[in-house]
Amino acid sequence: MIGTFSTSVRTLSPLLSPLLRHYYRPPTTSLSNHKVFFSSPSKALRQFIQADRAFLQRIRSSGVSTINQSSLRYVSGTSSKMPPPIFPIPDERANTVAVGGDKNGSHEGEKTSPQVQKIQKTSSDASASVHHQMSPQSPANTSPVVDGDKFDYDFVVIGGGSGGLAASKEASRLGAKVAVFDYVQPTPIGTKWGLGGTCVNVGCIPKKMMHQASLLGEAIEDAKSYGWELAGGGDKKHNWGAMVQSIQDFIHSLNWKYKVALRDVNVSYINSYAKLIDKNHIHAVNAKGKEVTVSAAKILIATGGRPKYPEIPGAKEYGITSDDIFSLQYPPGKTLCVGASYVSLECAGFLAGLGFDTTVMVRSILLRGFDQDMAERIGRAMEESHHVKFIRGAVPSKIEEIEPRQDGKAGRLRVTSTQNGKEIVEEYNTVLFAVGRDACTSTIGLEKAGVKVNPDSGKINAEYEQTNVPNIYAIGDVLDGRPELTPVAIQAGNKLARRLFAGSKVVYDYEMVPTTVFTPVEYGCIGLAEEVALKKYGKDNIEVYHGRYRPVTTRPIAGYGEEHCYAKLICNKLDDERVVGLHVLGPNAGEITQGFALGMRLGAKKRDFDDLTGIHPTDAENFVSLLITRSSGVDLSLPQCCG
């Protein structure tokens, strides 16, 4: 993309002319017309500044703390309005850490004095952290700018999901020359999708839309209590094909917008399967077999994960996963969801809500890694109020086809399972596996570049997103021991790009990350599970405030959720009852959790919740009036409305 800005030739020509000739060979350069054209404005400006400290001092003395086209006009006297910040001006004193260089802080091709990177958290255990900041122990005169003459690209991202796209766009905006490689390998039944990764195509977005479709079906029933009558007095009927088409149309529009967004910031999008040849070279092949090899100073692995299949006969031949369900061209019919993950429970929830006979097969516990009190409440709510059946303590051993699937119609499958040593056999139309995910790291050449992975999970070991190979980084679901959440990958990607190409010292804080499970009765949480808090702080040092509540904002007349909606705060008595865990089960739990997340990250105490005035009538206001403690043993009766 060609950038243009006007300058005062009298003031800046002595500086700009030689620097442009030295650093850039643009297609058009015209100082006589008071305009300068170049391919990457922000990169060129940073090169100008590094080459001429007098110019840098001139900008600082003018009061400008950031540099962009507008600030250049301001310094030259052609603009009196201060510009909005784009990226920070390098400071030879403060900006001394080559974050993301080798272990001594140096980048490829750069010379620095040895130094050790040190992380300073903005909080301790007594106060929830907001962000981390990286600080040097000893200075090194190092710039985040990469020598673009040595490599084809400053920054190559392998993986076009949410995190990879965020990092690539931010890096390009900061002046780096960037490319993104993305290629989707079809599922065993042939499902594939466009740019954007799991979240947009086969995860968060279509999941939430199908969840909403099921809630609308419930709302139709509730509407009768409010006087609404269905035309003709008939029963409601759902059209699976119409829903899938609408969802896929929306997703395709997002795929296009992602491509446009990359183009707008001059990121090269390469729709090919990429593998590392060594630590600086990538070889890729597209769907037509065309090969390309590029070099990069820095490489980011953001390939995400794909659903696992169990090692049983017929699993891949006849089963599907979440990669397939959102574009399935026929109604799934009677469905078995294998697994107790949030993906399994979410899919089972919306399928049951859409009217399909749905069963969940569980090997052990529900929602491993989540608060188990809340997990069991979710299971009871799904079973008692949402017509989802559970088969506990069972695993499938084989799947056989009775009748093949055809256009517009599901087939018939015989599923043989083992439950407590006893064999059980049942027929289903669709079997959906949600038994975990594998990181997409085994076939991208990490071993050739020397990148270490956890041999058990295949995930990458990284410190502050930097692998053991200094110029190779990783974000998102491929990271070992990190939350597999889209917003986490986006935040980590943006912060990484700013450290690599703008001299930032801020790293992503993986603590106190809010999330929500979109089961029929939604579950939102942030902080510690109750059992984890008890183990960490001790039973005598934890107090749990909890209560049931009536969801007055949705379906109050129908009596929905009175037996299942629940809120609790887990407090550390050793720290003035700081809230270390917040959990809510009820409608709009995601919205409630997001609202309280800021207070949690800022170290909110129980008294802060007590002092907060609730908005009435809302479900969220229940958190400002939790009085019953678990240790008291008092019965959790429903509170009265309005006091």
Q: Give which of 316, 330, 537 is closest to 431, Cα–Cα.
A: 316
- SS3 assignment for 562-623: CCCCEEEEEEEHHHCCEEEEEEEECCCHHHHHHHHHHHHHCCCEHHHHHHCCCCCCCCHHHH
- On the question of a cis peptide bond just before residue 136, with omega within 30 degrees of 0, the verdict is no
β-strand partners of 301: 158, 474
Q: Give which of 595, 585, 586, 642 is closest to 616, Cα–Cα.
A: 642
How many whole angstroms separate alpha carbon 467 and alpha carbon 449? Answer: 11
Residue 305 burial (CB count, 10 A) = 20
How many whole angstroms separate alpha carbon 337 and alpha carbon 349? Answer: 10
How remote is the C-alpha of 626 from its chain's centroid?
A: 31
The residue type found at 198 is: T
Q: Residues 239, 242, 244, 250: is their CA dihedral positive or negative? A: negative
Is 616 considered catalytic here?
yes
How many whole angstroms separate alpha carbon 518 and alpha carbon 586? Answer: 10
Q: Under a CB-based contact definition with an 8 Å cutoff, are residues 82 and 65 in contact?
A: no
Residues 6+ apart with CB under 8 A from 584: 523, 524, 525, 566, 567, 568, 592, 593, 619, 623
CA distance readout (Å), 543 to 17, 566, 585: 68, 17, 19
Strands 178-181 and 153-158: parallel
* Catalytic residue selected from 211, 238, 546, 616: 616
Q: Under a CB-based contact definition with an 8 Å cutoff, are residues 202 and 165 in contact?
A: no
Residues marked active site are found at 616
